[in-house]
Every structure is written in C-alpha cells, then in structure tokens.
Amino acid sequence: MLKEVRKEMSKKKIVVVDDDESIRKTFFLILHENYRVYLAKDSREALQRFKKAKIDLIIADLKLPYINGLEMIARFRESGYKGEVILISAYPDLINVDKLSHLSISHFFVKPLDLEALNRSIDYLLNSKKITEKRI
C-alpha cells in the first residue's frame, strides 16, 4: 500500500488546458496511468489552480476563453514556471514561431491530434532527462 502511494506521488504532473471537454477527457484517459493529470477548462482556471504548483508539463490549446494559450504560458513563465510546454491548435496559421521560441514552447501539435506522436513527445519531454542522468 505504501509503495503504491509513493509511486503515485512520484508520478510526473501534467496540466491539460482546453475548453473542449472531450479533448480534456481524451488526454486524461491516455495519460492517467503513467502521470498525474490535472484538467482545466480555461486559462483563468489553470492560472488560479496551478500558477504556484510544481508542474512538469503544461499542454494547452492556443484558443482559450479569457486569454489565449500563449498569453497564459507567458504568465506561467513570469511566475517562475520552467517546465515543459506543448501547445496544440486547430489554427496553425495563427502561430508566431518567434513567440513559441521566446516562451520556450517545447512542441506544437495541430488538431486533429496524432495521439501516438503526442504520446512519444510527452514521454520524451518527461523521461529523457532521467535516462540521460542514468547514463552519466
């Protein structure tokens, strides 16, 4: 029992921010076995709940209610967040590559999502550092 609790507590933490409930649920279903997954329906909820939390990865939609995903990530960065970020969008034409670079966005995916590629990306971002540390 204690071993299971420790394993659960040691899981990497992912916040998924998307106003589409079906997308939030899909992320939860594919990620919850290996990661602690938290869901937020908009940028306001994400900032209120997680701005000061220790999060390993934020997955955010570009188009969100209140403020867009890029502005939300900028606010997370201003508050000291140094973790990984994956931005998703159905509107790739709206993406400013310089802004992605400036905010240290790790990866960008276009909707409809390739879940296999997204899973590989998440695993790489959250586990490659651990693998590299083991080799040293």
pLDDT tens, residue by residue, 69-128: 999 999 999 999 999 999 999 998 877 788 888 899 999 999 999 999 999 999 999 997
Contact yes or no for 45/24 (Cβ under 8 A)? no
Q: Residue ranges of the alpha helices (H) in the chain?
A: 2-10, 21-31, 43-50, 69-78, 97-102, 115-135
Domain ranges for the chain: 2-135
- The pLDDT confidence band at residue 9, using thresholds 50, 70 and 90, is low
Measured distance CA(136)–CA(133) in Å, rounded: 5
Over residues 33-75, the pLDDT tens digits come to 999 999 999 999 999 999 889 999 999 999 999 999 999 999 9
Q: How many CA atoms lie within 13 A of 38 on its CB side?
A: 20
- The pLDDT confidence band at residue 10, using thresholds 50, 70 and 90, is confident
- Report whether CATH 3.50.7.10 matches the domain 2-135: no
Contact yes or no for 33/14 (Cβ under 8 A)? no
